[in-house]
Amino acid sequence: MRRTGPLARRTLAVSSAAVLAATVQAAPGLAAPSGPAPVVSRGVTIPVFYNPPATLPAANGALVRTEPLPLGLSLPGLDGRPLPGKATRLMYKSTDSNGKPVAVTGAYIEPSAAWQGTGPRPLVALASGTMGQGDQCAPSFALQHPLTLTGDTMSVAYEDLAIYRLLATGTAVVVTDYVGLGATDRLHTYVNRLDEGHALLDAARAAHAVPGASITRTSKVGLYGYSQGGGASASAAELQPAYAPDVHLAGTYAGAPPADLTAVMKGIDGSALVGALGWSINGFAQSDPALRRIVDANINAAGKAALKDISTMCVGDVLFKYGFTSSSKWSVSGKPIGDILPTIPQAQAVLDKQRLGRLKPAGPVRLTTGVKDDIVPHTQARQLAVDWCRRGGNVGYVPVDLPNLGDKTLLNHFAPLLLDQGDAVTWLTDRLNGKPTASACPALPSQP
């Protein structure tokens, strides 16, 4: 078990006793949590629900357990009301990038609003943007605790606005926590395209088995994500035909996807979000022993201490503690990590395996990127649209052209999320309602 001991330096601002006192309600035939005591991650007690069992079901998307999930108060901008729906916390089975079974957590939200479109109520599988690597950063946990502030954790549920907008249309929403984020048996495998794509598709499968869910096996499914979530939804759109043909995919929104990690490493390094570089290194080193040896040989003592510290942090934590740090301070050679790894064939091979755009995405895709985005660089996201178009994909490319809001500050990356969100939700809802869309690929020039 991880995330205990010295990293738990202060207690949760809200009463962790109340969390622990909540009775886990396993659905009929599902495994109730048992075994080790709750994990404490940077002062936040993770409910025992998130402890995976020793054995998992055989089928991808099969539920392991469920329990009611109290939704926290909405953030400003949501009309001062809670999210319009009833939530269920989930644990379900998926398959990781090594082909091994893995438990993934998440949440299903049954909307209060009626679906006004054609056919049965649809489902959107939502992949959250970057939340962190500590289990307390899990999107499902954030739905219950929209704002977590302790001496060691700062987490904000900024995806609530997108979830609210989707629920208001009468669309059901399922949110994945990704592999290892929430579930306490391993580190979160940040931006691992197979882990994230599988987890998102299996969340859609798991949603159909949630007690009380009004979606049906014929319900259309949309994929939604921005930033890390955009990479996950893009990956899921590529993987769906072979991995999850039973998911009736109607459309995919992929905002600011990290499609080429070699380019993204250089964009993130030295930025406000440099901690994300640490999360990716931690995750890939966990999944690939060969890369673990490369990291050990090239990262100095200060870097190893930073990687360990970052492994339990949420996005707010790394912004304040590690923001604008150069990874050259973490390397043995004094060079940035983004300059080192591409020179090592084994490491570059790992990065190449993560490249999006080598498969044709299923169904129509809306790909959005900020033209001034320098964190998840605009050029590599736009290249994904070009690559998909060349493979015959139905891709609508939407560049968001804003003034430069500050180099490496995260604003050039975050502002397009807010600016495009309403249009993205409308676009995806139209696809779920059966409205056709024309590909924008013929009009896409070869250069930005």
How confident is the model at residue 151, as a pLDDT?
60
Q: What is the DSSP string of 280-299?
A: HHHHHHHH-HHHHHHHHHHB
Tell me the one-letter amino acid at 157. Answer: A
How confident is the model at residue 156, as a pLDDT?
78
**pTM higher than 0.85:** yes
How confident is the model at residue 442, as a pLDDT?
66
- Give pLDDT tens digits for 54-64: 999 999 999 99
How confident is the model at residue 33, as a pLDDT?
60
How confident is the model at residue 23, as a pLDDT?
33
- Residue 63 near residue 206 (C-beta atoms within 8 A): yes
Give the ranges where 83-153 is alpha helix by DSSP (H). Answer: 139-144
Lowest-pLDDT range of 96-100, 254-258, 441-445? 441-445
Q: What confidence category does residue 35 fall into, taking pLDDT thresholds of 50, 70 and 90?
A: low
- The torsion of the CA quartet 196, 200, 202, 205, rounded to 10 degrees, works out to -170
| Confidence check: pLDDT of 226 > 60 | yes
- The packing angle between helices 378-390 and 261-268, to 10°, is 170
- Give pLDDT tens digits for 156-207: 788 888 999 999 999 999 999 999 999 999 999 999 999 999 999 999 999 9
How confident is the model at residue 230, as a pLDDT?
98
Give me the mean pLDDT over the 376-397 stretch: 95
Give me the mean pLDDT over the 339-358 stretch: 94
Whole-number average pLDDT of the chain: 89
- Distant-in-sequence, close-in-space partners of 47: CB < 8 Å, separation ≥ 6: 19, 20, 22, 24, 38
| Confidence check: pLDDT of 76 > 70 | no
- Residue 415 near residue 402 (C-beta atoms within 8 A): yes
Q: How many CB atoms lie within 10 A of CB 439?
A: 17
| Confidence check: pLDDT of 234 > 50 | yes
- Give pLDDT tens digits for 316-345: 999 999 999 999 999 999 999 999 999 999
Backbone angles phi, psi at 52, to 5 degrees: -65, 150
How confident is the model at residue 31, as a pLDDT?
56
Per the model's pLDDT, the better-predicted residue between 145 and 285 turns out to be 285
Q: Classify 180 as helix, strand or coil.
A: coil
Task: Give the whole-angstrom CA distance, residue 279 versus residue 315.
Answer: 10
Task: Give the whole-angstrom CA distance, residue 89 versus residue 87.
Answer: 7
DSSP letter at 266 equals: H
For residue 413, give the nearest of 356, 371, 354 by alpha carbon. 371
- The packing angle between helices 345-353 and 289-298, to 10°, is 130
- Give pLDDT tens digits for 81-116: 677 899 999 999 999 999 999 999 999 999 999 999
Angle made by CA atoms 197, 198, 201, in degrees to the nearest 5: 85
| Confidence check: pLDDT of 27 > 70 | no
47-69 in b/e form (b: 16+ CB < 10 A) is bbbbbbbeebbeebbbbbbbbeb
Give me the mean pLDDT over the 384-403 stretch: 95
Give me the mean pLDDT over the 269-289 stretch: 96
| Confidence check: pLDDT of 9 > 60 | no
Indicate the pairing of strand 172-179 with strand 123-127: parallel
Lowest-pLDDT range of 285-299, 373-387, 427-441? 427-441
How confident is the model at residue 335, as a pLDDT?
96
Domains and CATH numbers, the chain: 5-260+363-443 (3.40.50.1820), 263-353 (1.10.260.130)
Backbone angles phi, psi at 93, to 5 degrees: -95, 135
Per the model's pLDDT, the better-predicted residue between 131 and 8 turns out to be 131
